[in-house]
Amino acid sequence: MRLLYSCLLYLLTPLVLLRLWWKGFELPDYRRRWGERFGFVPAPAQPVEVWVHAVSVGESLAALPLIRALVARHGEGRVLVTTMTPTGSQRVREALGAQVLHTYLPYDLPGVVARYVARMRPRRVVVMETELWPNLFRTLARRGVPLLVANARLSPRSFRGYGRVRGFTASVLADCSEVAAQSEADAARFRALGAPRVSTMGNIKFDLAVPEAQLELGRSLRDALGQRPVWIAASTHEGEEEAALAAHRELRKSLPDAALILVPRHPQRFDGIAKLVTRDFSCARRRTWGGEALSADVLLGDSMGEMFAYFAAAQVAFVGGSLVPVGGHNVLEPAALGLPVLFGPQMHNFIAARDLLLGEHAGEQVADAAQLAAALLRLLQDPARRNAMGDAGRRAVVANRGALQKLLVLLDRV
């Protein structure tokens, strides 16, 4: 099975490169640094103490508290961070700069990962969430490098998919020193797939650190907006911007001065979304915010790394990836700032966080644009209910912190 997997990867590599080239029309960074994807990286002067892999922006943000704790322990330049996407790479560089080594994760081809590991010489490896790379894991196991899958989650849908190749999955998980699952349900699914060493650590996303500079920026924006009702549609995907704008149109029938902060998930879509907004609304893009621009119907958050500022400027949050079959995004970020959180039914990647917010009456699930508009109107017209939901969400986040410290202890042990 492993041989078949590797052969398929080799056969698909030309198509993968063609896809990178095609995506480069929208985001030119996809056409750069291809050597890193094949393991051609300069060897650091000394072995890497800990290598942390976070596939994209969301995982990179979740891993920041862990990475900063590791840098504090081992010193600058001793922690390696890899990502898969240019946006994830940009976020790592903006947040951590020269504190860490950074490259793209090499493709999971046997010779490629062997070359990369030999050059980087990591002493321990942490893979965030559910990134299972058979050849990389086997290479690390053969070299005796401890491997921890951290903050691991496995949705019922993913469990069924891995279950179709249960024997192969079990052999991959056997190469892990330990799987640190987010919840008991996740841990049970990993054990059912054959993982020999599984523990439950909780979700490191509860240990998020909110940058004070972003909070100040958000508060300044909130003050500048005055008494206008403000809501945010965050991390939206194709199809969700239309739903958010439809909800905003309906909302403004009752609250004509309401403002929407719209923050698409992917930067290559910013220009297209700006054109979509201006069909029906006045629009101010992030670089023009200020003065008269803040009277616009929609404020387009077309920047990276400022999500907490956008949340801090809003009174109610809708988190995208949930009205379309993406699986949702991190609903704990707005909850940590004391916002009521709305999301759609497609939350299979964040089941535990969804259930927590629903159980604590800190969040509400909506099915479509009409339900979103109705929920927004109720909350924006009822400050007492809005504050009660926001306080409940903040308390829930605080009460569930502690996964980061457990993870550091486990990493020392493995």
Give the span between the Cα atoms of 175 and 178, in whole angstroms: 9
233 shares a domain with 348? yes
The runs of H, that is alpha helices, within 174-211 are 184-192
Provide the mean pLDDT of the chain. 94
The pLDDT, as a whole number, for residue 391 is: 98
Q: Residue 310 sits in a domain of what CATH number? A: 3.40.50.2000
Tell me which residue of 413, 412, 410, 414 sits closest to 202, measured CA to CA: 410
- Please indicate, yes or no, if residue 226 is contained in any of the structural domains: yes
- Please indicate, yes or no, if residue 270 is contained in any of the structural domains: yes
219 shares a domain with 184? no
Burial of 264 per CB tally in 10 Å (0-12, 13-18, 19+): buried
pLDDT in tens, 232-277: 999 999 999 999 999 999 999 999 999 999 999 988 899 999 999 9
- Please indicate, yes or no, if residue 86 is contained in any of the structural domains: yes
pLDDT range class, residue 62, cuts 50, 70, 90 = confident
Q: What total of structural domains would you count in the chain?
A: 2
The pLDDT, as a whole number, for residue 267 is: 87
pLDDT in tens, 79-122: 999 999 898 898 899 889 999 999 999 999 999 999 999 999 99
Which of the pair, 62 or 264, is modelled with greater confidence?
264
275 shares a domain with 394? yes
For the chain, counts of helices (H) and of strands (E)? 18, 14
165 shares a domain with 71? yes
> How wide is the angle at C-alpha 102 spanned by C-alphas 332 and 94, nearest 5°?
55
407 shares a domain with 337? no
pTM higher than the cut 0.85: yes
- Indicate if the alpha-carbon torsion angle 71, 76, 81, 85 is positive or negative: positive
Distances (CA, A) of 120 to 54, 115, 286: 17, 9, 39
The dihedrals phi and psi of 199, each to the nearest 5 degrees, come to -135, 165
Give the mean pLDDT of 209-235: 93
Q: Residue 126 sits in a domain of what CATH number? A: 3.40.50.11720
- Please indicate, yes or no, if residue 31 is contained in any of the structural domains: yes
168 shares a domain with 122? yes
352 shares a domain with 222? yes
pLDDT range class, residue 19, cuts 50, 70, 90 = very high
- Please indicate, yes or no, if residue 7 is contained in any of the structural domains: no
Residues labelled catalytic: 59
Helix (H) or strand (E) holding 63: helix 57-74
367 shares a domain with 331? yes
Range of the domain at 333: 212-399
191 shares a domain with 133? yes
259 shares a domain with 319? yes
The number of residues in the chain equals: 414
- Please indicate, yes or no, if residue 15 is contained in any of the structural domains: no
- Please indicate, yes or no, if residue 9 is contained in any of the structural domains: no
Q: Which residues contact 304 (CB under 8 A, 6 or more apart)?
A: 57, 87, 90, 91, 94, 267
256 shares a domain with 357? yes
Output Rg (C-alpha) for the chain, integer angstroms. 22
- Please indicate, yes or no, if residue 250 is contained in any of the structural domains: yes
248 shares a domain with 203? no
